[in-house]
Structure formats: structure tokens, C-alpha cells
Structure 1
């Protein structure tokens, strides 16, 4: 029994030694080729993010992200009722007369509008619009 355990330990050590010896960090040869330096981060970002290629963009606050959810046109803090959760949202968003859009199917269980909604923490995805116009026809 003791010899079997010792055999397993020796095999394990042999595997570790071979793995380290075969790895690039385990070799003693010095690299003779000089690798090119990585391009600056702003060059990579400009090449991969189309919004950063726009000329005349003032700052990051003006950047519109691709495939971002629409912004909330008003602050909803006075309309949210924690005890009602999504029912407090649907007071406006399920009534066409208010002009509030109906949540997309992705907000509902089984992607069926009119069913039970499960995405009811709107500000997790939707940012509040930061302009100065009044909402809900307030002056």
C-alpha cells in the first residue's frame, strides 16, 4: 500500500516537472526576436468603438452607445411604489392614453407582453435623460 502511494507521488512529480520544462517560462533560452510593442490603448479603442471615430464629439457625455436601451425621459422617483413593484410602472406603461411605451417582450416572463413582468428595476438598464426640458408637461 505504501509503495503504491509513493508511486503515485512520483508520477505526479514527474508530470509537473515535464509540464514546467515544456512551458515557455520553464525554458532557459533567451528570446532573440524582438516583439513589436502593443499599439496605444486609444488607437485600439478608436478602431473597435465606432462612436469614438465621430468627428466633433464634444465629450463622453454626448456619446450614444450602440444597442443601448432607450433613456428614461423623466425622473420616475415619485412614481415608483416599492410595495407595488411592476404594477406601479404599469399604471402608465400599460395605458396607451399616457403615451408611455409598453415594455418590450424581453421584459416579461416567456417574452409575452401582457403577462407577468420580471424586469421591473428600470434604472438598472435605462439611464435617466439628462437634459433640462420638463417632463409630463410640467412648467
Structure 2
């Protein structure tokens, strides 16, 4: 074997290097970009009064970026939920500024799921384009 012909220290360093390379190749190098974005958007939503839960699904692949957010609010009517969503959206969308494209969908639900509100309740009539969402919600006074 080739390793037996090398000095012991060189062979040991080579083996350790291979182990480190194998561990990082197996995905133990930390969360993916999609996981980090999902966590950042979750944390942003959870920092908003009136939001008690945020479930995000972020899928980033060669076809594009797809983000779905389902929030739970403390409110039990559309007005209260709309207010919470209106505060959560800018905070969440701020975290997506590094993305050039993608689709985005969001809804907020009452604690018992009997009432829900989407971005249309806030006057948004655009597409599911992440860029359009950002332009609308991050440029409002």
C-alpha cells in the first residue's frame, strides 16, 4: 500500500484529511442556505407582536426559489390578523433581499384556524413573485 511507504506523520495527516473531507461532504458542515433563510424568516415573523407561530418551507433548487409561510396569530378576526400580517411581511421579506427571484406565498390563521388572511387583505394584488412582494411591502410608508 502507498501509505505504508510514507513517513508515519505524513500518512496520519493524509488519513485525517480524508476523514475531514468525508465528514464535510456528508453534509455535517452546517445548515443549507434554504435552512438558514427559513430560520431567519421564522425569527423575523416571531418577533412581531400578534404572531405566535411561523411555519416556513423554503425550497431552493435549479428551478428557482420557492417560499411558503404559514403564520398563526393571536387575533380571532380578519382585522387583527391583517395587522399582524402587515407587520410580519416587511420583517420577513427583508431577509430575502439576497434573492434575485423566486415565488412567495403567505397566510396568517387564527389560533383555531377558523379565520385566515392573505396578502390580498393588505391591498396586494400582484403575482406570487418574491420581487413583486418585496417591492410592494418594503416600499410602503
TM-score above 0.5, yes or no? no
Question: Larger % of helix: which?
Answer: 2
Query: TM-score, structure 2 length as denominator?
Result: 0.19
Using the size of structure 1 for normalisation, the TM-score is 0.19
Larger Rg, first or second structure (1 or 2): 1
